[in-house]
Structure 1
Amino acid sequence: MPDNTHSALITHRTLRAGGRGFQVAEAGEGPLVLLLHGFPELSYSWRHQLTGLAAAGFHAVAPDLRGYGGSDRPDDTAAYTIHHLVGDVVALLDALGAGRAVVVGHDWGSQLAWHTALMRPDRVRGVAGLSIPYRPRSGLPPLPALRRAFGDRHYMLHFQTPGVADEELVRDLPATFRRMLGGTSGGAPAVDPVVPEGGDLLDIYPDTGALPDWLTEDDIAVYAREFGRTGFTGGLNWYRNLTANWELTAPLAKAPIPVPALYLAGADDFVIRALDPAHLEAELRRWVPYLSDLILLPGCGHWVQQERPTAVTEALAAFCRSLEPSDSSTTSSTTLEHR
């Protein structure tokens, strides 16, 4: 898969891991940092961090995750549970020859990173979640909880019916990525997560007619080309296992994250923009006792590692260095920035 100006420093290969094929992008040498993307993204979303972390002395690896890009895309919806996905991370660590690694995730990749730390802390030196904070397993299954809060047309409920969102998203691929990425960027109007009656998924996202300065037509072309080849079903299948994941994680109810951790998000991220920063910090410190930093970047939206590549790379490098040469679980002061 082509990369932009970083392409000369980033290499691509396919790894066999756990019996499946994963296309990975990587750069650098040193302690391993595994970068897990979200929806609807690819390893490409980490292009800035791959080169930045390599320059900082780390081996940065970003896979196309199960269902995406050049990696395997099982047909069975049930093959995308959190157990399968954490198993993929462990298999990738094995294939890369790493006993342990720093695991970093954004969006759905953040959920995967948190759960990898919960399920296999022996393989995780530290965990960094971008955009999605760690929340312990809820007492109510997720789909009924969404219906109670938003009615029947929340976008995650819209995702549940096979074929519907899959078809909406491929109709005009450049428009899909302009609206989904640009419409939840910093400075964009607030997003209503409810699909309007008689509308489709893209009606959620405002069409401003212009790309934010961090997103180029070349970037759009990379995403459109890959998703035009693969479709969106693999990524949507992660959402179609929300109930299964809730059932499978019953043994982890009220479990804290047991390894050193970092949380970083855009202050304008639709995931957290309605939250009080003090409450967000209190909940994170309750459930992530070895949290080293909570960083909110003013004016930044959901696509934090692409919107603010330098700030994110510097924060990740500092966190990774804090784990060298030992895995101290001592907490440090919070860096909390918000408007």
Structure 2
Amino acid sequence: MLETPLASLHRELGGKMVPFAGYLMPVQYPAGILAEHLATRAGAALFDVSHMGQAELVGEGAAAALERLTPADIQILKPGRQKYGLLTTESGGILDDFMVANLGEGRLFLVVNASRKQVDLPAIEAVLPAGVRLNRLEDRALLAFQGPQAVPLLATLAPGVAALPFMGVARLEIAGIPVLVSRSGYTGEDGVEISVPAERAEALAKALLALPGAVPAGLGARDSLRLEAGLCLYGNDIDETTSPVEAALVWTIGKRRRMAWDFPGAGRVREELDNGPRRLRIGLLPEGRQPARAHTAIALAGETVGEVTSGTFGPSLNGPCAMGYVARPHAADGTALELMVRGKALPARVAATPFVPHRYAR
């Protein structure tokens, strides 16, 4: 198993290490997942996301080159701005979801999923024209500092961070350490993600955890936070069999791209937009306290109509929540369904996501 540059610090802090995407990562610390989740919602929590893949595309025409693999409009992305997008397959599935930032001067900064970086980066390299190159940034760590107090606290060390808008990106110094900061994250809360040289990552993490009220948080809280926020996890809620239309991610497809239909899988996407997909991603609120986990069958009148892809107990909701896919006729908000948990039918209803409102900086 691989380890991130913060592995020693995780153990020092009492992190419970588990395998995830080929890495040993902390699933929780002694305070527990519930406390870490609620601390993120109320204050500030630090997550290690260094297992993610970081890279730069460099050269004139980098944005146009990347558009060969994504329906996102990369060419309209202004310097200092970042966006979320999908890499798609020729059959209309989702190869991965990713973040891309325009650093100016023909440089794009990419963050891809840990479980997919060995697929994504070669796929990107394969479509690059002469003059554009992909630089893997394997010597960098990535930290997510999330919660309503994250930016105010961080601004005591780096005042410039407070001026960053949502999805803004800037090169800054934090406690004397040069970093790349984006005002983004995957918790539904305000916060930042910080790309830092690997050899300075532990010093940066300690500086952030020394801020008043800041706590470390692991994979468990990150998962419950993103699910309450209605955000997809690659490999659970989206994969190569899922289309952007089925996944309710049509908003990631640029208007210009919908006119040109020149991205991988455009035929399937266009057909599903015109005629409707066979299934749709939905939110689910089960009755009672018992969560329905991934692969739980979704039924109606005894007939299976879909499957749960992510499910947990939502600490902020004080109840269970889930996402999954159902046949399109059963996807309307409020639809009564049943979740087959341990052989019993658990009542649930289709619900709009996010389950907990996003609180990004606006």
Higher Rg: 2
Higher helix share: 1
What TM-score do the two structures reach when normalised by structure 1? Answer: 0.27
What TM-score do the two structures reach when normalised by structure 2? Answer: 0.25
Higher strand share: 2
